[in-house]
A and B are shown apart, each in its own frame.
Chain A
């Protein structure tokens, strides 16, 4: 076994109550460890992480002149810091500590106590062989830039921006659309309280615009991010609106004056249910209140032969047809991603007839139809302008389905109830809700469902098989027939209706993968941004200083999005207020004497920590950026790269310890 004469190891094995002691013979491991080279002291104890456990390390270190500590207990994720701190308190460099996980790696995963004990001994031997070659290291401190970048101006991004700016910090809010507001801006009412979405959202939107601490960059996207926690450099590209934002006052004179007398182009904000002109504003309360020109439909951009009546109508000279995308650089310390979701594309469930039958609508279209400022002014009429007398709302479209998305989108049951209520109110039609399970967990949600049950809405429990216009009797003629198994009465039913509403689910945004790459974070299997820990770190990511909130992290309603935004804001503020971050010293460094300048390492680094120094002809690692992934270490043919805590000698001794008794 590898020996280092100077090392005096103190070894501790924890019972973790019964968690470890039941499956690993802790006394026998302690006795075994006591006989290993370099070990001066070996003990077992009920709870090493408790105060007395840590105190014991302190006292022993003094009495036995220990200079290395090994604790065999639970996962380093849980208590490595606890024991590192105890080691430091005992006057020993905290990196002279090594932790052995004999709970997740031995006691919890085995059923044979004898063998589990043998395995624990092997793991302990490996750790002791390794720790004797540890080096004293220091954690580096780097200051945190107090400015914050928030990407996405839906309700999550808006809430977070206001939270942080109200705390006196500078916020850059980058929104890819011409206006902030996200999906919430499209709704008329919100469940379960049925309060008017605009009434609660628009004041917040204008608060963002007016806040001296917030720089709103609408119609912009983040092109690149470099740097590390506390010190990010961000490139934001502002798309051309062809309007000088500062000059436009939102009088809309240009829109009236546009050479197109009639609006001709599909209006995205109204889900295509109405038309807009090439010069337009998404909706009257859009924030900022600035028009824009869509260069794909504008005559000037298509032919160069428009008299530009819009510009002429503008008495503030706000038009600039020569605008180009502009890239602006920002420096921030923390980043919040609030990029939201995209609704499930109903065309992917062809059996429900979306796109085939004009009277099949998505829930978002209906959100616009019931909206007083929507395409019909809140008048719910079908495409042929008639009022529906019967409406079927199909839940779980695209959700909870092996063929499309497996997950529950969490908001569809509730918004379907909301839409049932609103449609009833607007049309007095017969409303049928087809649901698989009614999921209404949340404050006041079940009560909302109860209320709907008393409003005369029909509820049919069962997955809808198809929507068709195939009538088998007079009664069904000219209608859409919803065929579903009613599992409560145990028979297949055919319900003819005038209008079908598809409660489309929530999916990761369509550019979630691109965003993930730009910001160097991960996505979970479904494609939502991955949180650091599902329970204990739901708004943090694996990249320090980057937080996530709202529907980009997973399906979520507005209250939860706002709560998460608050949590993410608090995390960012905590980081800012601590003033600096401590960096794990498990970073890699390059020995310039050995580096041959081959540059193999440079593009391998997933964090772009390595640069080439042309004058010295050697590569260089920025320790503050390096995350200690070890990729470059393995790649360097010269062996010029060493990683702290993972030096060859440490790893090889550990392997030796593991394999050789």
Chain B
């Protein structure tokens, strides 16, 4: 029985994240008890009161598995990435932000200055007449203040430390997490270092039950509320921009099953350097129209193309960021 084996030590940490990944860990519901039967949670800021210093004092390699979610966007995230790498046997980039940069990664379309100006000067809900920006170090009456410094770039976890596995998803499908975890507990052969786990090796369309044909013929794109989906035909063939053709499957085509287009959170397949250009060229290949004007008209109906095609993957792509 597994109980006889020493329990595994498990850590969950968040970098630049929304919290959804941590919730997805909780989302395994009663399966969490199975996990806890085999593992002790040694660090999990959202749930446990364990301080950074406590982690820093753990012996190196003493944590069996760390699920690191969130991107790396400031010095605190980076510091903890290094600490957790040192302390963990297996470091997993958990969720799209840690894996590819995710939604926070869209900030790479702006510079640090632009982000600060928007947030600390222009935001509608702001009252900052002196236009004060945060400073990493500051003298205040209470003494010397120290806060993490904000980077110009949002980075993926692997751009900062060596990563063993990647679990995609925004957030990852909780069932997948349990499967992977139980594999580790049961001592099954671990996948090759550097692999994407808990997901398929094919794209969404492979699992999608919608009817697809060779007649794509898109003449313009619609936002989902602009057309009545017939519920059967491939969304792209109906002009609703779906990232399925270039997005790794593994979620169970959840969005499309719920009649919403795939947004691409599972990222590209192996060996595809740049998810954005890949989906862009797949989508462009579905356009109908011989004349440049017809094609331009179709393309103009895509709202926020850069944000759409790189929604989850900008920092991890070849493009990485907008060069200012």
- Chain A residues whose C-beta falls within 8 Å of the C-beta of B273 in the assembled complex: 648, 652
- The digit string for B278-303, where 1 denotes a CB below 8 A from any CB of A, is 11011011100000000000000000
Of A595, A596, A597, A635, which is within 8 A of B281 by CB? A635
- Chain B residues whose C-beta falls within 8 Å of the C-beta of A602 in the assembled complex: 214
Instruction: List 24 interface pairs A-B (beta carbons < 8 Å), by A numbering.
Output: A593-B201, A594-B201, A594-B202, A596-B202, A596-B203, A596-B204, A596-B245, A597-B206, A598-B205, A598-B245, A599-B214, A599-B216, A600-B285, A600-B286, A603-B216, A635-B284, A637-B203, A637-B246, A637-B247, A639-B268, A639-B272, A639-B278, A648-B271, A652-B273
B286 touches A639 (CB 8 A): no
Residue B212 lies at the interface, judged by CB distance under 8 Å to chain A? yes
A594 touches B269 (CB 8 A): yes
User: Given A593-B201, A600-B216, are A638 and B245 also a contact pair (CB < 8 Å)?
Assistant: yes
B201 touches A637 (CB 8 A): no
- The digit string for A633-651, where 1 denotes a CB below 8 A from any CB of B, is 0111111000000001000
A295 to B269, CA, bound (A): 60
A603 touches B205 (CB 8 A): no
A601 to B234, CA, bound (A): 15
Number of interface residues of B (CB under 8 A): 28
A637 touches B282 (CB 8 A): yes
- Chain B residues whose C-beta falls within 8 Å of the C-beta of A596 in the assembled complex: 202-206, 245
Shortest B293–chain A CB gap in Å is 20
A596 to B282, CA, bound (A): 13
- Chain B residues whose C-beta falls within 8 Å of the C-beta of A637 in the assembled complex: 203, 205, 244-247, 278-279, 281-282
Which residues of A pack against B, CB within 8 Å?
593-604, 612, 631, 634-639, 648, 652
Shortest B305–chain A CB gap in Å is 16
- Chain A residues whose C-beta falls within 8 Å of the C-beta of B193 in the assembled complex: none
A639 to B268, CA, bound (A): 9
- Chain A residues whose C-beta falls within 8 Å of the C-beta of B271 in the assembled complex: 639, 648
Of B213, B269, B284, B285, which is within 8 A of A638 by CB? B269
- Chain A residues whose C-beta falls within 8 Å of the C-beta of B234 in the assembled complex: 598
Of B203, B215, B244, B285, which is within 8 A of A604 by CB? B285
A601 to B215, CA, bound (A): 10
Shortest A604–chain B CB gap in Å is 6
Shortest B250–chain A CB gap in Å is 13
Residue on A with the closest CB to B281? A634
Of B212, B246, B247, B286, which is within 8 A of A597 by CB? B212
A598 to B235, CA, bound (A): 12
Shortest A370–chain B CB gap in Å is 46
Residue on B with the closest CB to A617? B206
- Chain B residues whose C-beta falls within 8 Å of the C-beta of A594 in the assembled complex: 201-202, 269
A422 to B234, CA, bound (A): 70
Shortest A176–chain B CB gap in Å is 26
Residue on B with the closest CB to A639? B272
Residue on A with the closest CB to B318? A652
- Chain A residues whose C-beta falls within 8 Å of the C-beta of B206 in the assembled complex: 596-597
A639 to B202, CA, bound (A): 10
A594 to B205, CA, bound (A): 11
Shortest A592–chain B CB gap in Å is 10
A599 to B245, CA, bound (A): 10
- Chain B residues whose C-beta falls within 8 Å of the C-beta of A636 in the assembled complex: 282
Shortest A538–chain B CB gap in Å is 30
- Chain A residues whose C-beta falls within 8 Å of the C-beta of B286 in the assembled complex: 600
A637 to B266, CA, bound (A): 13
A638 touches B214 (CB 8 A): no
A602 to B215, CA, bound (A): 9
A-contacting residues, B139-176, CB 8 Å: none
- Chain A residues whose C-beta falls within 8 Å of the C-beta of B282 in the assembled complex: 598, 600, 635-637
Shortest A332–chain B CB gap in Å is 27
Shortest A112–chain B CB gap in Å is 29
A235 to B13, CA, bound (A): 66
B215 touches A603 (CB 8 A): yes
A634 to B203, CA, bound (A): 16
Residue on B with the closest CB to A652? B273
- Chain A residues whose C-beta falls within 8 Å of the C-beta of B216 in the assembled complex: 599-600, 603
- Chain A residues whose C-beta falls within 8 Å of the C-beta of B214 in the assembled complex: 599, 602-603, 612
Shortest A221–chain B CB gap in Å is 24
**Given A596-B204, A599-B214, A637-B279, 15 further pairs, Cβ under 8 A:** A593-B201, A594-B269, A596-B205, A598-B205, A599-B216, A602-B214, A603-B214, A634-B281, A634-B285, A638-B202, A638-B246, A639-B269, A639-B272, A648-B273, A652-B273
B245 touches A600 (CB 8 A): yes
- Chain A residues whose C-beta falls within 8 Å of the C-beta of B201 in the assembled complex: 593-594
Residue on B with the closest CB to A593? B201
A603 to B247, CA, bound (A): 21
Residue on A with the closest CB to B248? A638
A486 to B240, CA, bound (A): 68
Shortest B104–chain A CB gap in Å is 25
A481 to B281, CA, bound (A): 63
A340 to B215, CA, bound (A): 36
A602 to B273, CA, bound (A): 24
- Chain A residues whose C-beta falls within 8 Å of the C-beta of B202 in the assembled complex: 593-596, 638
Q: Which 10 A-B pairs have the closest CB atoms?
A: A637-B246, A637-B245, A637-B282, A635-B285, A596-B206, A602-B214, A599-B214, A596-B205, A598-B205, A639-B272
- The digit string for B244-271, where 1 denotes a CB below 8 A from any CB of A, is 1111000000000000000000001101
Residue on A with the closest CB to B285? A635
- Chain A residues whose C-beta falls within 8 Å of the C-beta of B205 in the assembled complex: 596-598, 637
A-contacting residues, B18-49, CB 8 Å: none
A245 to B316, CA, bound (A): 71
Shortest A483–chain B CB gap in Å is 43
A310 to B214, CA, bound (A): 51
Shortest B51–chain A CB gap in Å is 44
A601 to B216, CA, bound (A): 10
A23 to B94, CA, bound (A): 56
Shortest B128–chain A CB gap in Å is 44
Residue on A with the closest CB to B278? A637
A108 to B260, CA, bound (A): 57
Shortest A455–chain B CB gap in Å is 54
Shortest B298–chain A CB gap in Å is 15
Residue on A with the closest CB to B204? A596
User: Given A593-B201, A638-B245, are A599 and B279 also a contact pair (CB < 8 Å)?
Assistant: no
A601 to B214, CA, bound (A): 8
A290 to B168, CA, bound (A): 74
A594 to B245, CA, bound (A): 11
A602 to B216, CA, bound (A): 10
Residue among B204, B234, B246, B247 with the most chain A CB within 10 A?
Answer: B246
Shortest A619–chain B CB gap in Å is 9
Residue on A with the closest CB to B245? A637
A601 to B213, CA, bound (A): 11
